[in-house]
Amino acid sequence: MADEEELILSDLPDDELVLQMHDDLYDGLKDEIIEAVEILLSRNWTPYDILTKALVEGMRIVGIDFRDGILFVPEVLLAANAMKGGMGLLKPLLVETGAPRLGKMVIGTVKGDIHDIGKNLVSMMMEGAGFEVTDLGINNPVENYLDALEAEQPDILGMSALLTTTMPYMKVVIDTLIEKGMREDYIVLVGGAPLNEEFGKAIGADAYCRDAAVAVETAKELIARKHNQVAAS
Amino acid sequence: MNILAQVLENRGWLLADGATGTNLFDIGLEAGEAPELWNFEAPDKVQSVYQGAVGAGSDIILTNSFGGTSARLKLHNAQNRVKELNERSAQLARDVALKSGRRVIVAGSVGPTGELLHPVGTLTEEEASEIFSEQIEGLLEGGVDLIWAETISSAEEFRAVAAAAAVHSAPWCGTMSFDTAGRTMMGVTAPDMVQLVNELEHKPLAFGANCGTGASDLLRTIIGFTKANPSVPLIAKGNAGIPKFVDGHVHYDGTPELMGDYAVLARDCGAAIIGGCCGTRPQHLEEMKRRLLNDPKGSVPDLDAIQERLGAFSSPADGTEDTAPPIRQRKRRRG
């Protein structure tokens, strides 16, 4: 609103600045997010705290409103884009400081399927939530997935299909993982317009994700569960 | 009077076709193959799909050119064949229409580019329009009666098709896919689309909804259009039920009977041009035509009646409720 006073980010105390960052992520304001990350860094915040408390938390709120039908894809993409702006600054610092990573995902549309918008949304939202994502693109035979799993050692394998004729290929990939004794090494998430929960179960995936926001939530939950299991054993 | 209005004047409704993809897969198209390449590689099979719809009574058939933009064809390294593939799809359809011995309208199918448009993505509306324009030129050269955009999800891309059709002074129709809680993936509601159409300089002859989720949702969208006072006839092209995974195969669970119900309900809801989308085969179309001819037009059904006859909605609301979605309370807004 034009008649309101211009807000100076650097004048805000830490707690208010973080809340403002949540708002700015919600509104997809990339420049403001970058500026705020710089301010927090100058105030000696750790890159990991900035990532989790400001950016990931802000995107969590975006994800909730997306899930609840208050925000739609365009707003979510702008938010994810703003998040990526902040991540650009944080990424090298996170590596330097040896901060724990949230998780890594390999994702691709299955063989025979050339649809990519849904998969791209999941990639962007996962990156927006702080995950590392390797995107294999479209039309991936099982070998592509196996090579990428080998090379990237991800926590999560994501598969997408938009065609009823290509959905069954997800099962081919999962069956191959089982055959090679690798299935339990990864969390397998599947998605795509014609799929449903029943289908996800039928082919042996860990979860079907209705949309990109659900994919992020599910990924976080299953990774936390896996860590707990490791800690308990 | 435009070509659709002429035909609609006689009967008040038209039967469009079913799903080109579903029917091509039935006769051997492999997943991942570009259906458009079949216009040269297997023209007889493409024509058999057209003939299936015409034989079942369709008054409008859509050309096998849904992925015929350079943006989609480049995935098959066929981006240099836009003109010929589209032209050929239209010629094959025109040939079937001529041989039918009755008036069958040939509509040139235009699908989304698959790219995200600005401001969300990088493709500008102008660039998208150029991409569509190239495809439309091929379709027109092949002899289509009009251009028919389908499965569009963003307002920007819909406008880009309108602008491209305007370049060629081509009559056109356009449908969007309302698949996310009653909205398109990009958040467009049914009333939003009515407004979008009203604001276009080069208006479509008809507009509406295709694909999406089940038949129930699609009819709820049609009712949403009607309530917003559309200025041109409405199109309903819904899926034949919902995909189910059975014994390693996927099939749409909609029976011909269900699609017959859907067709007459679509007309009751206010649609003038009625067809099917994913999973719709000639046997569905036949039953739809039979019911449309035999059943009298009824009053607009309420949502409960639609659910009872066609199955549950995929979401409780569709973004058109009287109560606006909760506006997030902001602590502060920037100047």
Q: Between residues A128 and B260, which one has the greater pLDDT?
A: B260
Least confident of A75-84, A171-180, B33-42: A75-84
Instruction: Read off the pTM.
Output: 0.86
User: What is the pLDDT at residue A21?
Assistant: 97
Contacts 24+ apart (CB under 8 A), A201-208: A202/A171, A202/B245, A203/A168, A203/A170, A203/A171, A203/A174, A203/B245, A204/A171, A204/A174, A204/A175, A204/A178, A205/A159, A205/A170, A205/A174
User: What is the pLDDT at residue A204?
Assistant: 94
Chain A neighbors of B21, CB-CB under 8 A: 163
Least confident of A50-54, A105-109, B242-246: B242-246
Confidence of residue A16 (pLDDT cuts 50, 70, 90): very high
Mean pLDDT throughout A197-203?
Answer: 89
CB B158 within 8 A of CB B196: yes
**In this complex, which of B30, B187, B245 lies closest to A72 when CB atoms are compared?**
B187
Q: Between residues A65 and B290, which one has the greater pLDDT?
A: B290
- Do residue B331 and residue A19 have CB atoms under 8 angstroms apart? yes
Contact status of B251 with chain A (Cβ, < 8 Å): yes
Q: Is B219 left (phi over 0), alpha (psi -120 to 50) or beta?
A: alpha
User: What is the pLDDT at residue B250?
Assistant: 64
User: What is the pLDDT at residue A1?
Assistant: 45
Q: Between residues A112 and B124, which one has the greater pLDDT?
A: B124
Chain B neighbors of A2, CB-CB under 8 A: 335
- Do residue B120 and residue A168 have CB atoms under 8 angstroms apart? no
Contact status of B296 with chain A (Cβ, < 8 Å): no
User: What is the pLDDT at residue B335?
Assistant: 42
Q: How far is CA B314 from the centre of its chain?
A: 19
User: What is the pLDDT at residue B161?
Assistant: 98
**In this complex, which of A72, A114, A120 lies closest to B32 when CB atoms are compared?**
A114
User: What is the pLDDT at residue A129?
Assistant: 82
Profile chain B (335 residues) by mean pLDDT over runs of 10 residues: 90 95 87 89 98 98 97 92 98 98 97 89 95 98 98 96 98 94 91 98 97 91 97 95 68 89 97 95 97 96 94 86 54 47
* ipTM score over 0.85, yes or no: no
Q: In B116-270, at which residue ranges do the beta strands (DSSP E only) sit?
A: 146-152, 172-176, 206-211, 234-238, 243-246, 249-252
DSSP H or E stretch at residue A179: helix A169-179
- Do residue B334 and residue A29 have CB atoms under 8 angstroms apart? yes
Least confident of A29-43, A147-161, A180-194, B17-31: B17-31
Taking the CA atoms of A42, A47, A53 and A59 in sequence, report the sign of the dihedral they define: positive
Give the 3-state secondary structure of residue A125: helix
- Do residue A164 and residue B330 have CB atoms under 8 angstroms apart? no
C-alpha distances in angstroms, A110 versus A107, A113, A139, A182, B74?
Answer: 9, 6, 5, 18, 18
CA distance B276 to B297: 19
Residue type, A44: N
CA distance B73 to B60: 25
